[in-house]
Structure 1
Amino acid sequence: MAGLSVDEKYALISRNLQEVLGEDKIKAVLKERDLKVYWGTATTGKPHIAYFVPMSKLADFLKAGCEVTILFADLHAYLDNMKAPWSLLEKRCEYYQRVIKAMLKSIGVPLEKLKFVKGTDYELSREYTLDVYRLSSMVTEHDAKKAGAEVVKQVDHPLLSGMLYPGLQALDEEYLKCDAQFGGVDQRKIFTFAEKYLPKLGYAQRAHLMNPMVPGLAGAKMSSSDDSSKIDLLDSAAQVKKKLKMAFCEPGNVTDNGVLAFVKHVLFNVKDNSGNKIYTNYEDIENDFQSVALHPGDLKAAVIRDLNELMEPIRVEFESADNKKLVAEAYPVEKKKKGPPAPKNSASELPLSPNRLDIRVGKIVSVEKHPDADTLYVEKVDLGEETPRTVVSGLAGLVPMEDLQDSLRVFLCNLKPQKMRGIESQAMLLCASSSEPSIVEPLIPAEGSKIGDRVTFTGADNCQPDEQLNPKKKVWDKLQEDLAVDSLCKAMWKDCGMTTESGVVTCASLKTVPIK
């Protein structure tokens, strides 16, 4: 924007960000010319309303006179555990381009000031490929896994493709000739990876601009894979109203509130239901909500109204036959294979819900070293049954015995019993686990929880636990992939909180690590 000083431009660029790496670099560039910024998105699941958060920041960058490039990272989408099959890359990339352009138009961002690039337009070139090989000769497995830990899907035996992902994202900074890369704070490890390795290739170190992660409607990070947590950009007005009415929005809670966070980062003017008050800055909204002067119902009603206004132009655009065809081709509905009907109430009919896990609060009444294994403990656990169960846990050397003795912990009780060095383990002690450094923390039930209390997942499909999990169906294996503690040490399955009647299950200090 003409006439803005360096400080005014920087204030626009950095407002509402959680962190900036390279502030001095940015200000030095601004003294000489406009800043070049790139934002990339992997073309995997359908974009949802949380995408309005980075879109709003792109508007800030443009107001500050920045040259902005949007990268549709189709190749990255394939490398991340094949979230976008190769056969669908082109269609999904086209869908992202159309829907994001529609979003930008709905918030008044001029498209002519933006540059749109597809990853495969340059990432398959000879020069880029040679740089990938050069980088792979420098990067250790440890650094590659660490860089992608919060972005690439984490599994016990990762594919090489996922470890290439951070390096490609780093190289994009050079090939897009940017001064700064913008993204969520969950990408911080990739950004510091780029700062470390690009200079080793002889390329300039870039600055990095990080948005906070906006909570989903269920209370955690908004996710493309959980319908209860997100509102799709093509959802109807009725669906928006229904989902927002169900959204977590506890009176007075201003820290873990997806509705309020969306107001802060996207919406600017919110009116209460009575129409007696119009807010012109976010701080007044937060203060009134914290003091309960603004009721959650009034906040939700205002957000429903304003959000539907933003979404309506997008819905209209995607009513065209061409766009409907694109959606169907980019996200085809898998046809069920014909076969004999499954018996009623069979396990195959049940949803893959974490509530099929029989997880309970138990008290460890005794703990001792396994007589034939240095790394194992043998615990006797009171789970509210007639007799205690025997549980064998690989925690020796990781968790002191005294931390377990007489403590309330969380146990998975419907796995098939398994002998471990001659002693049958009849349940599993659930723990948050970090591999580097090697730290294990047993999960902690909410204060007030009692022996035998069932642990469930808020927002997941309601069902009774299986009597015993069938190892051949791999129900536990599939569910365990999405069990983790979040950035607040809360135990989650996807975006569904693990809870007892007394509250949320947590761990002591680990964050964003898997539960095993």
Structure 2
Amino acid sequence: MALAWTDKYKLITRNLAEWLGDEKLKSILKKRDLKLYWGTATTGKPHIGYFAPMSKIADFLRAEAEVTILFADLHAYLDNMKAPWELLELRTQYYETIIKAMLKSIDVPLDKLKFVKGTDYQLSKEYTLDMYRLSSLVTEHDAKKAGAEVVKQISNPLLSGLLYPGLQALDEQHLKIDAQFGGVDQRKIFTFAEKYLPMMGYEKHIHLMNPMIPGLAGAKMSSSEDDSKIDLLDNPAAVKKKLKKAFCEPGNIADNGVLAFSKHIIFPLFKNGEVFNVSRSAEFGGDVSFSEYESLEAAFAKQEIHPGDLKNAVEVYINRLLDPIRKEFENSKLKSLASKAYPPQKKAAEAEITPARLDIRVGKIVEVKKHPDADSLYVEKIDLGEPSGPRTIVSGLVNFVPINEMENRMVVILANLKPANLRGISSHGMVLCASVEEPTRQVEPLRPPAGSVPGDEIVIEGYEDGTADDVLNPKKKVWEKLQVDLVVNGDGVASWSGNPLLTSTGGKITSDSLRNVPIK
């Protein structure tokens, strides 16, 4: 029996972070089935986080939508050469094989799906002419802004990275779909498409956005951070090891990758009657089951479920998902494909330690409270202009800045430190401060220039062309080696070895009253 359009609507929109074009979505569903596509650039090796879009694709198919999966090989090359030409075809083959294996592992019938490679149509005359037409309308500012959360950002962007959002917008037209599905990190590209496609005489499409799932370390799940994600071919021992190290603070339901995986992947994939089982010894209450995620979250928030028990339960479901994929890749040809597409990286020469490796940004404190277990620490929610929302950062400023002066304050954040657990709360960055120890210890948060907004990048004059590390390796002491030359000079201006810290508009970073003191 065909579903009612209202049931299709609920399936399509459940667990999404946001969607644009709600009225159009309802209008189409009242008349016919939705046509949509999901694209993935064939760059980093797919990890277990890819089950989040796969579970939504299962929802779309249950809603009787026509779904196209795009292996965006050309996009992958344009993303500042994350996938070099010589590996592009191999990585595209790997993506197609592994994603089909993922879909089969969750019982999604492949015959209901259409698979397309970008180069199958993006090199056609019609598409190329549209790209030229679009390039006559798009400003450099809009192209860079649209790709800010998706394309790897560098100080002097390559033209290839600026083309990326335009191609993704044109895909909507040339794939002849009603809607595009992606992560909420793609929102700027989606609004870019909504602005420019109508200017070309094309219709505005619907945009469906999945939330970004935290990695096991608590921040965004990343292909480049091995401990933050589980590889689709990891063996059970590796799964256990990574889950054991995962950040999962008792009672903490925010920044919790283990809970997020349960919410967005495990529960949506349950068939009718299935429940989430948590095995426990009798002395700790015995086994318990949950038929809906909200009940599990509530029990964890009340600390009725111990983090270790939650991890053990999730481990069972992860291995259940991965077993069919591991089995398929026992095939020698597929093993060979995996090793060729992602060859072991040769140990690179140690990168020169320059201040360009620091990811320093303007942030705005949107919430601040005292740490429940440490009298000298504040726990702040700081907006860095990221689609995933404000970061949690713990700062030792209670004795130096009154809480009312912290609220809504603009600050300077070192954003690429490895997350640290400070008295039970995961901190994802550092508020940079002018600091003096003698004769009396004084600490002042650095102040961005007037007009700064959350997310503004801060560079050191003379070092604008480098690329910041994704995460500073604490073993290499990069921050510690650079910090010794970071000071507030006699004019109250933050500088490194005499070079001022500047925002993109040329504004200087200052301290309110301290002079000739270190920045820590």
Using the size of structure 2 for normalisation, the TM-score is 0.70
CA gap of 1:71–1:384, structure 2 versus 1, over 3 A, is same
CA gap of 1:304–1:108, structure 2 versus 1, over 3 A, is same
| Structure 1 letter corresponding to 2:186 | Q
Q: Distance in 1 between matches of 2:434 and 2:85?
A: 48
Q: Distance in 2 between matches of 1:419 and 1:25?
A: 57
Corresponding residue of 1:402: none
CA gap of 1:131–1:294, structure 2 versus 1, over 3 A, is same
Corresponding residue of 2:387: none
Corresponding residue of 2:339: 328
Q: Contact 2:434–2:488 at 8 Å: present in 1 too?
A: no
Corresponding residue of 1:155: 154
Q: Distance in 2 between matches of 1:72 and 1:347?
A: 32
| Structure 2 letter corresponding to 1:198 | L
Kindly provide the CA deviation profile for residues 22-48 of structure 1, in whole angstroms up to 9, marking residues without a partner as x. 111111111221100100000001000
Q: Contact 2:488–2:519 at 8 Å: present in 1 too?
A: no
Q: Does 1:136 align with 2:135?
A: yes
| Structure 2 letter corresponding to 1:298 | D
Corresponding residue of 2:102: 103
SS in 2 for 1:209: strand
Q: 2:483 aligns with which of 392, 407, 413?
A: 413
Q: Contact 2:37–2:68 at 8 Å: present in 1 too?
A: yes
Corresponding residue of 1:230: 229
Corresponding residue of 1:407: none
Q: Contact 1:148–1:190 at 8 Å: present in 2 too?
A: yes
1:48-63 counterparts in 2 under 5 A? 48-63=47-62
Q: Does 1:304 align with 2:315?
A: yes
Q: 1:273 aligns with which of 275, 279, 282?
A: 279
| Structure 1 letter corresponding to 2:278 | D
Kindly provide the CA deviation profile for residues 399-425 of structure 1, in whole angstroms up to 9, marking residues without a partner as x. 8xxxxxxxxxx995234999999x995
| Structure 2 letter corresponding to 1:308 | N
1:38-57 counterparts in 2 under 5 A? 38-57=37-56
Corresponding residue of 2:194: 195
CA offset at residue 441 of structure 1? Answer: 8.2
- The alignment's C-alpha RMSD in Å is 3.9
Q: Contact 1:79–1:161 at 8 Å: present in 2 too?
A: yes
Kindly provide the CA deviation profile for residues 58-98 of structure 1, in whole angstroms up to 9, marking residues without a partner as x. 00000000000000001111101100001111000000000
Q: Distance in 2 between matches of 1:106 and 1:100?
A: 10
Report which stretch shifted further, 424-433 or 253-262: 424-433
CA gap of 1:278–1:142, structure 2 versus 1, over 3 A, is same
| Structure 2 letter corresponding to 1:413 | Q
1:87-102 counterparts in 2 under 5 A? 87-102=86-101
Q: Contact 2:488–2:510 at 8 Å: present in 1 too?
A: no
Corresponding residue of 1:207: 206
1:492-507 counterparts in 2 under 5 A? none
Q: Contact 2:217–2:246 at 8 Å: present in 1 too?
A: yes
Q: Does 1:120 align with 2:190?
A: no
Q: Contact 1:432–1:442 at 8 Å: present in 2 too?
A: no
Q: Contact 2:105–2:325 at 8 Å: present in 1 too?
A: yes
Q: Contact 2:248–2:258 at 8 Å: present in 1 too?
A: yes
Q: Contact 1:39–1:183 at 8 Å: present in 2 too?
A: yes
CA offset at residue 129 of structure 1? Answer: 0.6
Q: Distance in 2 between matches of 1:257 and 1:38?
A: 29
Kindly provide the CA deviation profile for residues 168-221 of structure 1, in whole angstroms up to 9, marking residues without a partner as x. 000000111110000001100100111111111111110000001111110011
1:59-74 counterparts in 2 under 5 A? 59-74=58-73
Kindly provide the CA deviation profile for residues 316-343 of structure 1, in whole angstroms up to 9, marking residues without a partner as x. 1111110011012111224469xxxx9x
Aligned residue pairs, count: 406
| Structure 1 letter corresponding to 2:205 | R
CA gap of 1:417–1:320, structure 2 versus 1, over 3 A, is same
| Structure 1 letter corresponding to 2:50 | Y
Q: Contact 2:250–2:307 at 8 Å: present in 1 too?
A: yes
Corresponding residue of 2:82: 83
SS in 2 for 1:316: helix
Q: Distance in 2 between matches of 1:278 and 1:211?
A: 27
SS in 2 for 1:267: helix
Q: Does 1:249 align with 2:248?
A: yes
CA gap of 1:287–1:414, structure 2 versus 1, over 3 A, is same
Kindly provide the CA deviation profile for residues 309-365 of structure 1, in whole angstroms up to 9, marking residues without a partner as x. 11011011111110011012111224469xxxx9xxx9999xx9989xxxx989999
Unpaired runs of 5+ residues, structure 2, are 268-274, 281-285, 360-394, 402-431, 453-478, 512-516
Q: Distance in 2 between matches of 1:203 and 1:209?
A: 19
Q: Contact 2:49–2:213 at 8 Å: present in 1 too?
A: yes
Q: Distance in 2 between matches of 1:244 and 1:238?
A: 10
Question: Among the aligned pairs, what percent are the same residue?
Answer: 60
Corresponding residue of 1:506: none
Q: Distance in 2 between matches of 1:302 and 1:353?
A: 39
CA gap of 1:254–1:427, structure 2 versus 1, over 3 A, is farther
Unpaired runs of 5+ residues, structure 1, are 366-378, 400-409, 444-451, 456-516
Q: Distance in 1 between matches of 2:121 and 2:95?
A: 18
Q: Contact 2:435–2:519 at 8 Å: present in 1 too?
A: no
CA offset at residue 294 of structure 1? Answer: 1.1
1:359-398 counterparts in 2 under 5 A? 381-384=434-437
CA offset at residue 106 of structure 1? Answer: 0.5
CA offset at residue 384 of structure 1? Answer: 3.7
Q: Distance in 1 between matches of 2:518 and 2:331?
A: 52
Q: Distance in 2 between matches of 1:318 and 1:104?
A: 14
Q: Contact 2:487–2:518 at 8 Å: present in 1 too?
A: no
SS in 2 for 1:241: helix
CA gap of 1:385–1:155, structure 2 versus 1, over 3 A, is farther
Report which stretch shifted further, 411-420 or 30-39: 411-420
Q: Contact 1:364–1:382 at 8 Å: present in 2 too?
A: no
Q: Contact 1:398–1:439 at 8 Å: present in 2 too?
A: no
CA gap of 1:424–1:188, structure 2 versus 1, over 3 A, is closer
Q: Distance in 2 between matches of 1:220 and 1:147?
A: 22
Q: Contact 2:488–2:518 at 8 Å: present in 1 too?
A: no
Q: Contact 1:71–1:117 at 8 Å: present in 2 too?
A: yes
SS in 2 for 1:177: coil
Q: Contact 2:169–2:190 at 8 Å: present in 1 too?
A: yes
Q: Contact 1:361–1:383 at 8 Å: present in 2 too?
A: no
Corresponding residue of 2:329: 318
